[in-house]
Structure 1
Amino acid sequence: MAHRTTQTIVRFSSAFLLPGFDKPQPAGDYRVDHDEESIDGVSRLAWRRMGSFIHLPGIGVRSSTHQMVPINPVDLDAALEKDNKTA
């Protein structure tokens, strides 16, 4: 099976908190990686998401440490939707 990682940038206009985070993260742009594996089909190639990770701190924030934190894409989508309603 083939594997790939797709990257996206998400933007939060206010502080946000995802399940499993110790504290809210500040507003800003964040890189999100989605790891996927191929599903071999008879007529076409499809991909199944195996994991999603957000990079902390946000883009442009100076920090001595950087980390990739596993997240649930559903939780990320809910946080982005909430952020869009408050913006």
Structure 2
Amino acid sequence: MIMRSTTSMVTFSHPFTLSGYPDELPAGEYEVIVEEELLQGLSFEAYRRTATHLMVHGRKGKAGITEMRQISKTDLETALNRDGALAGNNDNRDAARIQQENLK
């Protein structure tokens, strides 16, 4: 099975939460890793998303530790939309939309 990973960055202007995780994450820039597998037997190249991960760097008592949190594409899009709505201006909403398009 052939796998590929792509990396992109997303920026949150406000603290945020993600479904399935109890803690609030601080505003800032986060790395997103998308893993996909090649679909075999097709006459063209196509990939299926198998996982999306958000890299969370440790803070306070966990400095130096990086956590790779598995999330859904929908949960990430929801958090980015909430962040854009909190900002209340079109610049941040457009930035969140562009970041979401990079995740596709």
With the shorter chain as reference, the TM-score category is: 0.7 to 0.9
Instruction: Name the aligned partner's letter for residue 32 of structure 1.
Output: V
Structure 1 runs not aligned, ≥5 long = none
- For residue 7 of structure 1, what is the aligned residue in structure 2? 7
Mapping for residues 1-87 of structure 1, pairs under 5 Å: 1-40=1-40, 41-42=42-43, 44-57=44-57, 63-87=63-87
Cα offsets for 1:7-65 (capped at 9, x unmatched): 110110000000121211000000010110011311x201100001100128xxx9221
Q: Partner of 1:37: helix, strand, or coil?
A: strand
TM superposition outliers: structure 1 runs of 4+ over 4 Å: none
Percent identical among aligned pairs is 34
What TM-score does the superposition give when structure 1 sets the normalisation length? 0.88
Structure 2 runs not aligned, ≥5 long = 88-104
Q: Distance in 1 between matches of 2:45 and 2:25?
A: 37
Greater helix share, structure number:
2
What TM-score does the superposition give when structure 2 sets the normalisation length? 0.74
- How many residue pairs get matched? 83
Q: Distance in 1 between matches of 2:64 and 2:75?
A: 27
* RMSD value, Cα: 1.6
Deviation for aligned residue 1:82? 1.0
Higher RCO by CA contacts (8 Å cutoff, separation 6 or greater): 1
